[in-house]
Amino acid sequence: MENKEKMRKKSSRSRLQKRMRILAVITSLSVIITFTTIVASICVCFSFKKQYGEREVFAEETDQREEPEEEQAVEAFSDEVVYTQEEVDSMLTTAVTNAIDSADSELLQILRGRLENGEGTMTILRDLYPDHVVMLDSGQYYFLPLQEDLAMNTYIDENFVPAENGFVSYQKDGEVLTKKGIDVSKYQGEIDWEAVKNDGIDYAIIRVGIRGYSEGGILEDEFFRQNIEGAIANEIPVGVYFFTQALNEEEALEEANFVIGMLQGYQLTYPVYLDIEDVKKENCRTNNLTVEERTNNAKVFLEAVREAGYQPALYGNMKSFLLMLDLASLEQYDKWFAGYTLPIYYPYEYKMLQYSEKGKVAGIPGQVDINICFKEYGDGE
């Protein structure tokens, strides 16, 4: 048993050393090509957590102007293996030296070429970790192992076809397989829905309302009724969304009941979406919610919507779905994903894509979010 335990620790340490060696290779490029955007100081932290699979996290600091006055205690964990700041520094120095003086020079040349061609560190890291979802949030990189139990999307990057007017469609053998839509709120102001229809918009997702992120009051979007009635009058199929800030299941049910009440008398073709996003404000009332709490709140809202006869679905971005929610517990709901860079970097299934927040559509005076939908929604779905 002792030998097995030693071998396990040795294997864990070896995996971590390999990842730090890759980081060191990227770091060393700043010396080779004076690539100013490669960091001058790296603070690495790997944290392996047990929460529906192993999650690896490391943090990178990028201040090139001055060294920190006090050396912070930084530890990298791999099961029971712990590295101090001194050990991390030593490993990085050794790895850089070895990378330049050994067979890693080939890897350095590849990385150098990619950086010289304009590729960013994130793109390279994602290629180096194909079995992980790599993302950056608030200065911290996350390496999230792929959840094989979740449905994956099968979209092909080359099939996303951008047009000169800024719109994108998904095509196969020249056939357009998606519908073109917008989502609107009070921020679009007065909308000429006839002009929107004539501009080729196939559907509209309309904001019903929000819960305030500080005081927590539920507010109707002041243009909701005008928008939904204008779209329906011009035979544009509609869905709706609500921006949540529920602290608990009781508030989540309150939000759902508000939305259901607002929908009386209107026929929806598309789902009722629960909009879950991070509010980057210190006084945001939901800042301290756990993943479990936020997930349970979402379930309460979505199930209440389903029981009322509407199709429930979720809206979010990479952070919403991967850091704020437990996707495995929400697998049964359709997803509307927000990602603004093609090709779309998100492995899991989604039925609708918000690919721009700067669209231009006839009948709308300013910018508007534009979307494509892969699923044929209809009455009763």
> Which tokens in the block code for residue 18?
């390999």
> How many CA atoms within 13 Å lie on the side-chain side of 278?
17
DSSP characters over 55-90 = EEEEE-----S---SS-----EEETTEEE-HHHHHH
d(CA 219, CA 196): 26
How far is the CA of 296 from the CAs of 174, 178, 252, 299, 318, in angstroms? 42, 32, 9, 5, 19
Question: Do residues 92 and 25 touch, judged by C-beta distance below 8 A?
Answer: no
**Residue 241 DSSP label:** E
pLDDT of residue 114: 83
Cα radius of gyration rounded to whole Å, the chain: 24
Pairing of strands 54-59, 140-145: antiparallel
pLDDT of residue 84: 57
pLDDT of residue 41: 31
DSSP characters over 319-366 = HIIIIIS-GGGGTTSEEEEE--SSSP---B--SEEEEEEEE--TT-SS
Buried b vs exposed e over 185-224: b needs ≥16 C-beta within 10 Å? bbebeebbbeebbebebebbbbbbbbbebeeeebeebebb
d(CA 298, CA 142): 24
DSSP characters over 110-144 = HHHHHHHTT--HHHHHHHH-TTEEEEEETTEEEEE
Tell me the β-bridge partners of 254: none
Q: pLDDT means per 10 residues in the chain (381 residues)?
A: 47 50 51 35 34 34 35 36 54 59 69 82 88 92 94 97 94 96 98 98 98 96 98 98 98 98 97 96 93 98 98 98 97 98 96 97 97 86 49
Q: What is the pTM of this model?
A: 0.76
Pick the closest to residue 276 from 295, 250, 256 (CA basis): 295
d(CA 11, CA 348): 30
pLDDT of residue 24: 53
What residues contact residue 172 under an 8 Å CB cut-off, 6+ apart? 159
d(CA 43, CA 89): 9
| Residue 49 burial (CB count, 10 A) | 11
CATH class of 157-373: alpha beta
Question: Do residues 366 and 192 touch, judged by C-beta distance below 8 A?
Answer: no
| Residue 27 burial (CB count, 10 A) | 22
- Is the bond preceding 343 in cis, omega lying within 30 degrees of 0? yes
Output the CA angle 310-312-318, nearest 5 degrees: 160
Burial bucket for residue 109 (CB in 10 Å: 0-12, 13-18, 19+): exposed
Residue ranges per structural domain of the chain: 2-145, 157-373
